[in-house]
Amino acid sequence: MIDLHCHTLHSDGTDTPERLALLAEEAKLTALCLTDHDTLGGIPEFLAMQPQVKVRLLVGTELSCRFLGRSLHVLGLLVDPTDVRFQTRLDELRQRRDDRNLRMITRLGELGCPVTYEDVQAQAETPLISRVHFAKALAARGFVRRAPEAFERLIGDDCPGFVPREELSPVEATRWIREAGGVPVVAHPGRFAGGAFRWDEAMRDLQREGMEGLEAYYGEYRAAEQKYFVALGASLGMVVTGGSDYHGANKPGLRLGAGRGGLKVPDDLLDALERQQKGGTYR
Ligand code: AMP
Ligand code: MN
Ligand code: MN
Ligand code: MN
């Protein structure tokens, strides 16, 4: 089994890259792709673990783009970690994130929940600050009892204290990933929209905008969702990928490789992903 989606404390997870490599080895995975949000900051430490483990350690990242007025996550799997232009592009994304973070500080102050930038920074172990760290800072200051409540009342997508970031278009996100030698994959489409949503049409549009794969196996999917997205990927000729979206203690109950317990991402998906990578337009 493999896992192509997980986070460390270089974004909004709580484990080090070293620990993820060891956990993957313990779970007897054959490959693990690290996909922190907007950064490859954990990759050097992660790849340095390769001599100590049998599990193949692979490079990725997770970007956000704007689709149908909402945030759609895109995995950049197998990107080249030495690509300088891609690094510069990620720097720009993190700058936009910081701008957003500063505006959220102001907004939360206006809402009667004044946290400082230092409060939020104190909750993060690396320079990347996300809403997970805001939630912890709000709890530490006593504005909410526990971090999840911050997402319910203050900083969730539809809450008054949330400020969106300036996001990429799908065309930009897929071009950036492809130009860095990676494969752009729609992350957890079932979390973006489920039920009555016409994913067949939307996915075809995204495919025209450069998307080459979709995450059909996911730590938090129900069996019916997995079946639906595996079939959709096959019918559109897109690669199908899968991962747990492990975040350590920031997503309790979710395990690397196994998700909520029943996740099994087959090894042969990685072969197809690597074939797609070699056959891509820019490669
Ligand atoms: P950001 O990238 O800073 O906008 O933060 C997004 C991160 O916040 C996601 O990757 C999740 O880890 C977390 N998040 C967003 N919404 C929720 C929610 N409703 N409950 C818990 N965590 C959330
Ligand atoms: Mn996350
Ligand atoms: Mn995501
Ligand atoms: Mn993720």
What is the CATH classification number for the domain harbouring 109? 1.10.150.650
User: What pLDDT sits at residue 196?
Assistant: 80
Counting the structural domains of the chain, the total is: 2
User: What pLDDT sits at residue 57?
Assistant: 98
**Residue that terminates a domain, selected from 155, 179, 211:** 155
Q: Are residues 140 and 84 in the same domain?
A: no
Looking at residue 19, which CATH number applies to its domain? 3.20.20.140
238, part of any domain:
yes
Q: Are residues 143 and 30 in the same domain?
A: no
Q: Are residues 248 and 183 in the same domain?
A: yes
Task: State if residue 131 touches ligand 1 by the CB under 6 angstroms criterion.
Answer: yes
Q: Are residues 173 and 64 in the same domain?
A: yes
**pTM (global) more than 0.95:** yes
User: What pLDDT sits at residue 95?
Assistant: 98
222, part of any domain:
yes
pLDDT tens for each residue of the chain, 283 residues long: 999 999 999 999 999 999 999 999 999 999 999 999 999 999 999 999 999 999 999 999 999 999 999 999 999 999 999 999 999 999 999 999 999 999 999 999 999 999 999 999 999 999 999 999 999 999 999 999 999 999 999 999 999 999 999 999 999 999 999 999 999 999 999 999 877 899 999 999 999 999 999 999 999 999 999 999 999 999 999 999 999 999 999 999 999 999 999 999 999 999 999 999 998 644 4
Q: Are residues 150 and 239 in the same domain?
A: no
Q: Are residues 129 and 172 in the same domain?
A: no
User: What pLDDT sits at residue 195?
Assistant: 74
User: What pLDDT sits at residue 258?
Assistant: 97
Write out the residue range of the structural domain in which residue 260 sits: 2-90+166-279
Provide the 10 A C-beta neighbour count for residue 66. 17
161, part of any domain:
no
Burial of 61 (0-12, 13-18, 19+ CB in 10 A): buried
- Ion ligand 2 residues within 5 Å by Cβ: 12
* Residues 45, 12: Cα–Cα separation, whole Å: 17
Q: Are residues 68 and 186 in the same domain?
A: yes
Centre of ligand 1 to C-alpha 280, Å, is: 32
* Mutation to probe ligand 1, out of 6, 12, 74, 254 (largest number of atoms < 8 A from CB): 12
Task: State if residue 37 touches ligand 1 by the CB under 6 angstroms criterion.
Answer: yes
